[in-house]
Amino acid sequence: MPWPLIIQFGTLAALLTFGFTIGSWVERAHFRRLAIREQALRDILVTNLKTVPRDCDVKAFGLVTGEVVIASDYFKTFAASLRKLIGGELHAFESLMERARREALLRMVESAKGMGANAVANVRFESSDIGSMRRKRAAAMVEMYAYGTAYHLTPHLPKGTE
């Protein structure tokens, strides 16, 4: 095997190993941070329903949003490009989408909490893929946008308990 070919394969193997190792570490760390933030915000009601409960006094704050763009690591991009050759589901990008969705939702809820809201209704998600072409290779990135209406809900007291 000629040396230039060995160097090319070695470089590819090194990049894949580096991408897999660092990418996995970054992803696990992000999932841990997401879980901590979700736990801190568990008292805020988040729903996709268009209306809020009728048995509450309602103060509307308006639109709240959360947006994130997350890039895939080199290993996942490489693995997905191999999978595209034979077709099927791209499992390598599922965790990328989950991270983006959870991060966008958390940013939206944190924005609502900053306004003094304790509920977000009519929550919706929008997503788009962003591919930047460099040297005829696409870098996989996903943008996730979460939006909803922030409210402060105060439950009505039952009659006779006032």
Digit-coded pLDDT (tens) for 6-65? 888 888 888 878 877 888 898 899 999 999 999 999 999 999 998 877 788 889 899 999
Quote the pTM value: 0.81
DSSP secondary structure string, 98-143? HHHHHHHHHHHHHHHHHHT-SEEEEEEEEEEEEEEEETTEEEEEEE
The total domain count for the chain is 1
What is the rounded distance in angstroms from the CA atom of residue 39 to the CA atom of residue 82? 37
We report the CATH number of the domain holding residue 147 as 3.30.110.70
Nearest to 81 by CA among 94, 90, 73, 72: 90
Give the chain's mean pLDDT. 85
On whether residue 162 sits in a domain, the answer given is no
What is the rounded distance in angstroms from the CA atom of residue 162 to the CA atom of residue 156? 10
On whether residue 18 sits in a domain, the answer given is yes
Instruction: Express as a percent the part of the chain with pLDDT over 90.
Output: 44
DSSP category for residue 71: E
pLDDT per residue as tens digits for the range 65-81: 999 998 887 777 777 77
Q: What are phi and psi of 155, to 5 degrees?
A: -65, 145
Task: Provide the residue range defining the domain that includes 97.
Answer: 3-155
